[in-house]
A and B are shown apart, each in its own frame.
Chain A
Amino acid sequence: MSSATQRRVFLVAALLVAAVALGVISMGGIGENLVYFWTPAQVHENASKAVGATIRMGGVVQADSVDWQPDTQALTFTVGESAVDTATPITVHAQSAPPQMFREGIGVVVEGTMTDAGTFRADKVMVKHSNEYRAPTDGMAPADLYATVEEL
């Protein structure tokens, strides 16, 4: 086999392998095995597996559900599928100060486990930021924004 033929055989083989790999990743069932987080509804569906195992749950912090006790470092809030979730919200207990951007109505991903009581015990609370980048509106004082940064 001449070296040019050999190179082109390798080219076709490499492109084929790449195309098949990409096809398997994008269309194959890999998505089901690579789950970064479950939504509250999925946690309910997999209730038996969620207790005791370390899992992540992603959702939206429900309005009027946040309770932060600075003396005991106890943070409690409820996570739902969407901003207003009446069907499947799950109460989360964490022992840490709320992250800077944590607030009602924001997306969060919590890492921890479900307890027998049907609540989520979180070791880590992560806050999701959307791809929306906006200038502050008139009502927002720049000083407040700087303040949020200084505490970091």
Chain B
Amino acid sequence: MKSPLAIVGLIFVVLGMLATAAGHWIGLFVAPPEAMMGDVGRILYVHVPTAWAALIFFMVAFVAAIGSLWSGWRGFDAATTGAVEVGTVLTFLLLIQGSIWARPTWNTWWTWDPRLTTSAVLAAAFGVVLLMRRLIDQPAKRQMATAVATIIAFVDVPVVYFSVKWWASLHQQASTRASMDSVMGLPLGVAALGMLVMGTGLMLLRTKVELVRLAHEADAPELPPTAAPLRLDDPAGGDPTLDEAT
């Protein structure tokens, strides 16, 4: 493998996995159970890093999308895709983890709380960005559509972040250094760093894959022009070649 992007990506994934494992080892075996939630509270060490990382990757996607529209460079298009994809996967994981945490603590799998609702919108919005990207064949058009949709979908990122401040909610406020004992802050910090590094590695690898795809696409020979659309009012069945012959 000669691509520096792929090599750095792989290294990041491995380092990130090691840090994640270390963080969870501390979180599961060294840190005490939480005073009110007991062992259930340990899901904090995966849920909060997932949330932070998802929002950060969407921020990366937003910046890449601006670069993509400004410069038209294919690299920004690939990076936007990589960041959106990692962020979307993390957001779906976030919803699942949150649901698992909510059942024993809040007494419900799901409720239309502002934080939960805006997070579900986030997953849907960026899911649509990825879907739309697959449906557009023309590279320049696809690059523009991806970037514009990413910028629009990004609006929900600050809304998710501030949802617990703007509206009355069941979800707790953002965790801070002051809101947790340092014995719990350590595993959280290590796990968050791991998640971020691992996510960055995956984003780089995905960006590389997309770059290769886009390059192949650009090198591919032009397709022959498409046939004329079928004409339903034509008794002959609308075969365009027959049509032209007459």
Contact = CB atoms under 8 A, between A and B. Distances in A.
Interface residues of A, number: 50
A84 interface: no
Interface string B164-183: 00111110111110011101
Interface majority SS (helix, strand, loop, mixed), chain A:
mixed
Contact of A34 (B36, B72, B114): B114
Contacts of A34: 114, 167
A131 interface: yes
Interface stretch (A43-51, A62-70, A113-121, A142-150): A142-150
B107 A126 contact: yes
Contacts of A37: 168, 170
B180 A134 contact: yes
Interface in B120-173: 140, 144, 147-148, 151-152, 154-155, 158-159, 162, 166-170, 172-173
A133 B41 contact: yes
Contacts of B105: 100-101, 127, 129
A37 B168 CA distance: 7
Contacts of B66: 11, 15
A14 B147 contact: yes
B189 interface: no
Q: Chain B: interface residue count, which band?
A: 35 or more
B238 interface: no
Given A131-B172, A133-B41, A133-B44, A100 B104 contact: yes
Contacts, number: 150
B237 interface: no
B228 interface: no
B184 A135 contact: yes
Nearest to B102: A126
Contact of A134 (B70, B174, B181): B181
B239 interface: no
A126 B35 contact: no
Interface in B34-71: 34-41, 44, 66, 69-70
A131 B34 CA distance: 12
A135 B183 CA distance: 8
A25 to B, nearest CB: 6
A36 B38 contact: no
B40 to A, nearest CB: 6
Interface of B: 31-41, 44, 66, 69-70, 72, 103-108, 111-114, 140, 144, 147-148, 151-152, 154-155, 158-159, 162, 166-170, 172-176, 179-181, 183-184
Given A22-B159, A36-B113, A102-B107, 9 more contacts: A26-B166, A36-B114, A126-B107, A126-B108, A126-B111, A129-B172, A130-B179, A136-B32, A142-B33
8 contacts: A10-B148, A26-B158, A36-B169, A37-B170, A100-B107, A101-B36, A126-B106, A126-B108
